[in-house]
Amino acid sequence: MEPSTVSIRQTSLCLPFDSEAHYQTCVENLTMYRQHIEAIRRQHAELLPKEIAAGYSFHSKYWSVKQQLLLRRIQVKATGRVFLIRPSLVMPYMVARTDALDKPLRLRQYPVPFEELAYQFGRDKMVYYRAWVSLGRTSLVGTTVKDEKRLPEHLVADEKHTWLKGQKVYVPTTVAAGCILGASVVPDAAADTLEKGYGEFAQEARAVKPAYQPQSVCTDGWKGTRQAWTRLFKTITLVLCFLHSVLKIQDRCRGALRQTLLDKAWHVYEATTKGQFAQRLRRLRAWAGTNLSEGDLKKAVLKLCDRKAHFAPAYEVPDAARTSNAVDRLLNFLDRVLYAMRYFHGTEDTARLGVRALALQWNFHPYSQRVQRAAPQRSSPFADLNGFQYHPNWLHNLLIASSMGGQRL
């Protein structure tokens, strides 16, 4: 979506209310409604257009026949733009009450098929499909990161292959701070194509912070991936994932030799300075030359040693990720759901919306009770990143965070 394109979602403000009775009172009492909007503006200004501080007026009413609910529009005086205020009690486009779709959509994380959702909760399966896919229409970065100061400076990126109507496609994924901040679907893994896929993250991040420039990104050795990131962010530091090289060694040996090589490889990784890292690589190379016979295993060890120039930049950016674990774990989540779905069967656009919906579902999903008992302050990846949540319910929280489509207007 081009930055100049304004969707219906971007002119819809989704705001929290204590209850439906509270909302109804505000709708009927405009003085109370103003007080509520002002309280939200003081605490969470990112949910409202910036110019609202200069004044607004109530513009018109809208009666939802589907939900039997009255909504109001406001007009911002500085720009003349009109916004519809929707409580988080209802879904976008008034398709359903939020509480009616809370449990069905939450089960998509596991994932439960849409046919089973229809059997368990009633309605047609397409109701749940459309509501789920619709979540992916908002900005991933803008919905997840509510303060530009919390935009991560160190990223991890990778692409996994999946299937669209039997054809292989790729999902370029950007991860930081335990959240999926970029996800798309592209037809191949060429540099130009991946630049377009990862470019969605760059565009959305710059919509939050125009001067955004991450310090580092950790990737595998795929040339197209690395080229895409250097094109998108000219001064970014590329860090090669050390884990990928270790796994290639691990796959080529067994028994005591495997354990010996893994110990030596991770000993190299644990070096605390660039000089120490280079020294340990030289020793590993010398050991391999003496103790390993010619073959794939020796080539894998020597290849790791030859990549010193790609591993070493991590020492110039101490907080950079040095392995792709952060993205691999979340790609496992995506892979499990996509496998259970038997991958994608529609268009490339709906596949893209699907992976973005999964990304947002991950970012806002509530942690298990075991995690919350061990760390009561932790409730979801979104709350970990931002330090707060708008609502204790994950779907209400997501809808409120996606006010104005996650944009900053």
Identify whether residues 78 and 157 lie together within a single domain.
Answer: no
CA distance linking residue 139 with residue 77, whole number of Å: 26
Cβ atoms of 13 and 41 closer than 8 Å? no
Locate tokens 């030596």: which residue?
264
Residues 163 and 311 in one domain: yes
User: Which range of residues forms the domain containing residue 25?
Assistant: 1-91
Mean pLDDT, rounded, for 355-384: 92
Beta-carbon count within 10 A of 389 CB: 19
Looking at residues 146-163, what average pLDDT do you find? 96
Task: Say if strands 154-164 and 216-219 run parallel, antiparallel, or are unpaired.
Answer: parallel
Q: Answer yes or no: do 237 and 163 share one domain.
A: yes
Same domain, 72 and 151: no
In the chain, the N- to C-terminal Cα span, in Å, equals 15
Last residue of one domain, picked from the residues 348, 366, 397: 348
Q: In which element (H, E) is residue 338 found?
A: helix 325-340
259 within a domain of the structure (yes/no): yes
What is d(CA 181, CA 21) in angstroms, rounded to the nearest whole number? 35
Residue 316 belongs to some domain of the structure: yes
Within-domain flag for 339: yes
Structural domain count of the chain: 2
Residue 129 lies in a domain: no
Query: How far apart are the C-alpha atoms of 314 and 205, rounded to whole Å?
Result: 23
Tell me whether residue 283 is in a domain.
yes
Q: Are residues 78 and 209 in the same domain?
A: no
pLDDT at residue 9, as a whole number: 67
Same domain for 254 and 146? Answer: yes
Give per-residue pLDDT as tens, 242-270.
999 999 999 999 999 999 999 999 999 99
Q: What is the pLDDT of residues 53-107, one digit of tens each?
A: 999 999 999 899 999 999 999 999 999 999 999 999 999 999 999 999 999 999 9
382 part of a folded domain: no
Q: Is 103 part of any domain?
A: no
Residues 39, 162 within the same domain: no
- Which of 303, 333, 348 is the endpoint of a domain? 348
> Per-residue pLDDT for 1 more than 80?
no
Mean pLDDT confidence for 129-142: 95
Mean pLDDT of the chain: 94
Are 67 and 200 in the same domain? no
78 and 158 in one domain?
Answer: no
The answer on pLDDT for 5 being more than 50 is: no
Structure tokens belonging to residue 330? 């979340």
- pLDDT over 50 at 110, yes or no: yes
Cβ neighbours for 26, distance < 8 A, ≥ 6 positions apart? 17, 32, 33, 36
Q: Is residue 170 located within the same domain as residue 69?
A: no
* pLDDT tens string 187-223: 999 999 999 999 999 999 999 999 999 999 999 999 9
Residues 216 and 339 in one domain: yes
| Residue 375 belongs to a domain | no
